[in-house]
Chain A
Amino acid sequence: DTAVSQTPKYLVTQMGNDKSIKCEQNLGHDTMYWYKQDSKKFLKIMFSYNNKELIINETVPNRFSPKSPDKAHLNLHINSLELGDSAVYFCASSTSGYTDTQYFGPGTRLTVL
Protein backbone atom coordinates (compact mmCIF):
# COMPACT_ATOMS: atom_id res chain seq x y z
CA ASP A 1 0.00 0.00 0.00
CA THR A 2 1.34 3.39 -0.96
CA ALA A 3 1.34 5.76 1.99
CA VAL A 4 2.02 9.04 0.18
CA SER A 5 1.67 9.14 -3.57
CA GLN A 6 2.35 11.87 -6.09
CA THR A 7 1.46 12.31 -9.73
CA PRO A 8 3.04 12.76 -12.11
CA LYS A 9 6.49 11.40 -11.38
CA TYR A 10 8.01 13.45 -14.18
CA LEU A 11 6.73 16.73 -15.61
CA VAL A 12 8.35 18.53 -18.50
CA THR A 13 6.83 21.81 -19.61
CA GLN A 14 7.53 25.16 -21.20
CA MET A 15 8.14 28.44 -19.45
CA GLY A 16 4.98 30.38 -18.81
CA ASN A 17 2.74 27.34 -18.53
CA ASP A 18 0.56 26.49 -15.54
CA LYS A 19 0.84 23.02 -14.05
CA SER A 20 -0.34 21.01 -11.08
CA ILE A 21 1.14 18.20 -9.04
CA LYS A 22 -1.18 15.97 -7.08
CA CYS A 23 -0.52 14.41 -3.70
CA GLU A 24 -2.55 11.90 -1.75
CA GLN A 25 -1.91 10.22 1.59
CA ASN A 26 -3.80 7.24 2.96
CA LEU A 27 -2.32 7.41 6.45
CA GLY A 28 -5.10 9.42 8.00
CA HIS A 29 -2.69 12.23 8.82
CA ASP A 30 -3.84 15.72 9.63
CA THR A 31 -0.91 17.68 8.22
CA MET A 32 0.57 17.70 4.74
CA TYR A 33 3.58 19.47 3.31
CA TRP A 34 5.24 20.42 0.09
CA TYR A 35 9.02 20.56 -0.23
CA LYS A 36 11.30 21.65 -3.04
CA GLN A 37 14.67 19.97 -3.59
CA ASP A 38 16.94 21.86 -5.92
CA SER A 39 19.90 20.63 -7.94
CA LYS A 40 22.20 21.11 -4.95
CA LYS A 41 19.99 18.77 -2.95
CA PHE A 42 18.78 21.44 -0.54
CA LEU A 43 15.37 20.34 0.67
CA LYS A 44 13.26 23.30 1.69
CA ILE A 45 9.72 23.41 2.98
CA MET A 46 7.28 25.38 0.89
CA PHE A 47 3.99 24.87 2.70
CA SER A 48 2.53 23.05 5.60
CA TYR A 49 -1.20 22.60 5.84
CA ASN A 50 -3.76 20.96 8.04
CA ASN A 51 -7.47 21.40 7.89
CA LYS A 52 -7.19 24.46 10.00
CA GLU A 53 -4.11 26.34 9.00
CA LEU A 54 -1.92 26.99 6.01
CA ILE A 55 1.61 28.06 6.76
CA ILE A 56 3.49 29.49 3.87
CA ASN A 57 7.22 29.91 3.60
CA GLU A 58 7.48 33.57 2.72
CA THR A 59 10.28 32.88 0.28
CA VAL A 60 7.89 30.94 -1.94
CA PRO A 61 6.60 33.00 -4.89
CA ASN A 62 2.87 33.51 -4.96
CA ARG A 63 2.84 31.68 -8.29
CA PHE A 64 2.82 28.57 -6.12
CA SER A 65 -0.41 27.71 -4.35
CA PRO A 66 -1.53 24.62 -2.45
CA LYS A 67 -5.05 23.35 -2.86
CA SER A 68 -6.58 20.86 -0.47
CA PRO A 69 -9.93 19.38 -1.53
CA ASP A 70 -9.93 17.17 1.56
CA LYS A 71 -7.65 16.02 4.36
CA ALA A 72 -6.07 13.29 2.27
CA HIS A 73 -5.05 15.51 -0.63
CA LEU A 74 -2.80 18.52 -1.04
CA ASN A 75 -2.17 19.53 -4.61
CA LEU A 76 0.40 22.05 -5.75
CA HIS A 77 -0.51 24.52 -8.45
CA ILE A 78 2.18 26.50 -10.19
CA ASN A 79 1.39 29.42 -12.46
CA SER A 80 3.64 31.02 -15.06
CA LEU A 81 6.42 28.50 -14.69
CA GLU A 82 10.00 29.76 -14.76
CA LEU A 83 13.29 28.02 -15.46
CA GLY A 84 14.22 28.31 -11.78
CA ASP A 85 11.21 26.24 -10.82
CA SER A 86 12.94 23.15 -12.17
CA ALA A 87 13.46 20.86 -9.19
CA VAL A 88 12.11 17.79 -7.49
CA TYR A 89 8.98 18.46 -5.46
CA PHE A 90 8.13 16.23 -2.54
CA CYS A 91 4.86 15.92 -0.76
CA ALA A 92 4.85 14.69 2.83
CA SER A 93 2.41 14.12 5.65
CA SER A 94 2.52 13.73 9.40
CA THR A 95 0.11 13.01 12.20
CA SER A 96 -0.03 16.59 13.29
CA GLY A 97 2.97 18.84 13.89
CA TYR A 98 6.55 19.15 12.76
CA THR A 99 7.95 16.91 15.47
CA ASP A 100 5.89 14.01 14.23
CA THR A 101 7.48 11.70 11.71
CA GLN A 102 6.97 12.96 8.20
CA TYR A 103 6.25 10.44 5.49
CA PHE A 104 7.42 11.53 2.07
CA GLY A 105 6.11 10.75 -1.36
CA PRO A 106 8.37 9.59 -4.20
CA GLY A 107 8.79 13.06 -5.62
CA THR A 108 7.91 14.79 -8.88
CA ARG A 109 10.76 15.92 -11.08
CA LEU A 110 9.71 19.15 -12.78
CA THR A 111 11.71 20.37 -15.73
CA VAL A 112 10.91 23.77 -17.19
CA LEU A 113 12.28 24.38 -20.68
Chain B
Amino acid sequence: LAKTTQPISMDSYEGQEVNITCSHNNIATNDYITWYQQFPSQGPRFIIQGYKTKVTNEVASLFIPADRKSSTLSLPRVSLSDTAVYYCLVVPTGGGNKLTFGTGTQLKVEL
Protein backbone atom coordinates (compact mmCIF):
# COMPACT_ATOMS: atom_id res chain seq x y z
CA LEU B 1 0.00 0.00 0.00
CA ALA B 2 1.08 3.56 -0.65
CA LYS B 3 2.99 5.06 2.25
CA THR B 4 2.35 8.70 3.06
CA THR B 5 4.71 11.34 4.38
CA GLN B 6 3.54 14.54 6.03
CA PRO B 7 5.18 17.25 8.13
CA ILE B 8 5.00 16.38 11.79
CA SER B 9 3.74 19.79 12.84
CA MET B 10 2.73 23.20 11.56
CA ASP B 11 1.91 26.47 13.27
CA SER B 12 -0.41 29.16 12.03
CA TYR B 13 -2.45 32.14 13.15
CA GLU B 14 -6.15 32.74 13.00
CA GLY B 15 -7.37 33.97 9.66
CA GLN B 16 -4.50 32.54 7.67
CA GLU B 17 -4.70 29.89 4.97
CA VAL B 18 -2.94 26.66 5.86
CA ASN B 19 -1.62 24.21 3.31
CA ILE B 20 -0.54 20.75 4.41
CA THR B 21 1.25 18.65 1.82
CA CYS B 22 1.35 14.88 1.78
CA SER B 23 3.70 12.76 -0.31
CA HIS B 24 2.54 9.39 -1.64
CA ASN B 25 5.06 8.45 -4.28
CA ASN B 26 3.88 4.90 -4.88
CA ILE B 27 0.19 5.62 -5.13
CA ALA B 28 -1.63 3.10 -7.31
CA THR B 29 -3.96 3.85 -10.18
CA ASN B 30 -7.09 2.98 -8.25
CA ASP B 31 -6.15 4.68 -4.99
CA TYR B 32 -8.03 7.66 -3.61
CA ILE B 33 -6.56 10.35 -1.37
CA THR B 34 -8.45 11.07 1.80
CA TRP B 35 -7.86 13.47 4.67
CA TYR B 36 -9.11 13.11 8.21
CA GLN B 37 -9.02 15.46 11.19
CA GLN B 38 -8.60 14.31 14.76
CA PHE B 39 -9.11 16.32 17.93
CA PRO B 40 -7.67 15.13 21.25
CA SER B 41 -9.63 12.29 22.81
CA GLN B 42 -11.85 11.92 19.76
CA GLY B 43 -11.99 9.67 16.76
CA PRO B 44 -10.86 10.93 13.34
CA ARG B 45 -13.37 12.83 11.26
CA PHE B 46 -13.52 12.85 7.47
CA ILE B 47 -12.58 16.14 5.82
CA ILE B 48 -12.22 15.57 2.10
CA GLN B 49 -11.39 12.99 -0.53
CA GLY B 50 -10.20 13.22 -4.10
CA TYR B 51 -8.72 11.31 -7.01
CA LYS B 52 -7.19 14.02 -9.17
CA THR B 53 -7.09 17.77 -9.83
CA LYS B 54 -9.06 19.74 -7.28
CA VAL B 55 -11.86 19.00 -4.88
CA THR B 56 -13.56 21.61 -2.71
CA ASN B 57 -16.16 21.35 -0.01
CA GLU B 58 -17.41 23.64 2.72
CA VAL B 59 -14.45 22.84 4.94
CA ALA B 60 -11.37 22.53 2.74
CA SER B 61 -9.86 22.12 -0.69
CA LEU B 62 -7.72 19.29 -1.91
CA PHE B 63 -5.20 19.82 -4.68
CA ILE B 64 -3.77 16.83 -6.51
CA PRO B 65 -1.21 17.26 -9.30
CA ALA B 66 -1.34 15.23 -12.47
CA ASP B 67 1.19 12.65 -11.31
CA ARG B 68 -0.79 12.16 -8.06
CA LYS B 69 2.41 11.59 -6.10
CA SER B 70 1.46 14.27 -3.63
CA SER B 71 -1.59 16.17 -2.46
CA THR B 72 -2.19 19.38 -0.57
CA LEU B 73 -4.95 20.00 1.92
CA SER B 74 -5.85 23.67 2.03
CA LEU B 75 -7.73 25.12 5.00
CA PRO B 76 -8.93 28.66 4.32
CA ARG B 77 -8.88 31.20 7.15
CA VAL B 78 -8.18 28.85 10.02
CA SER B 79 -9.47 29.46 13.52
CA LEU B 80 -8.40 28.21 16.92
CA SER B 81 -10.86 25.34 16.58
CA ASP B 82 -8.90 23.99 13.62
CA THR B 83 -6.09 22.99 15.96
CA ALA B 84 -5.95 19.24 15.47
CA VAL B 85 -4.01 16.42 13.85
CA TYR B 86 -4.58 16.03 10.11
CA TYR B 87 -4.05 12.66 8.51
CA CYS B 88 -3.43 11.99 4.85
CA LEU B 89 -4.54 8.57 3.76
CA VAL B 90 -4.26 6.70 0.50
CA VAL B 91 -7.23 4.41 0.20
CA PRO B 92 -7.33 1.49 -2.21
CA THR B 93 -10.65 0.98 -3.92
CA GLY B 94 -10.00 -2.72 -3.95
CA GLY B 95 -9.74 -2.92 -0.21
CA GLY B 96 -6.70 -3.47 1.93
CA ASN B 97 -5.82 -4.93 5.23
CA LYS B 98 -2.87 -2.71 5.98
CA LEU B 99 -4.60 0.64 5.99
CA THR B 100 -2.57 3.00 8.13
CA PHE B 101 -3.17 6.65 8.80
CA GLY B 102 0.46 7.49 9.40
CA THR B 103 1.78 10.05 11.85
CA GLY B 104 -0.37 12.94 10.75
CA THR B 105 0.39 16.66 10.97
CA GLN B 106 -0.25 18.46 14.23
CA LEU B 107 -1.63 21.87 13.30
CA LYS B 108 -1.55 24.50 16.00
CA VAL B 109 -3.49 27.70 15.41
CA GLU B 110 -2.83 30.69 17.61
CA LEU B 111 -4.38 34.12 17.99
Contact = CB atoms under 8 A, between A and B. Distances in A.
A16 interface: no
Counting chain A residues whose Cβ lies within 8 A of the other chain, the interface size class is 20 to 34
Contacts of B36: 102
Given A43-B87, A45-B98, A57-B98, A90 B103 contact: no
B80 interface: no
Given A43-B87, A107-B41, A107-B43, A99 B49 contact: yes
Contacts of B98: 45, 57, 59
Interface in A60-92: 90, 92
A56 interface: yes
Given A99-B49, A101-B49, A102-B46, A45 B103 contact: no
A90 B49 CA distance: 21
Interface of A: 4, 35, 40-45, 48, 55-59, 90, 92, 97-99, 101-107
Interface of B: 32, 34, 36, 38, 41-46, 49, 85, 87, 91-93, 95-104
Given A57-B97, A99-B91, A106-B41, 17 more contacts: A40-B103, A42-B100, A42-B101, A43-B38, A43-B44, A43-B87, A43-B101, A45-B98, A48-B99, A57-B98, A97-B93, A98-B92, A98-B93, A99-B32, A101-B49, A104-B42, A106-B42
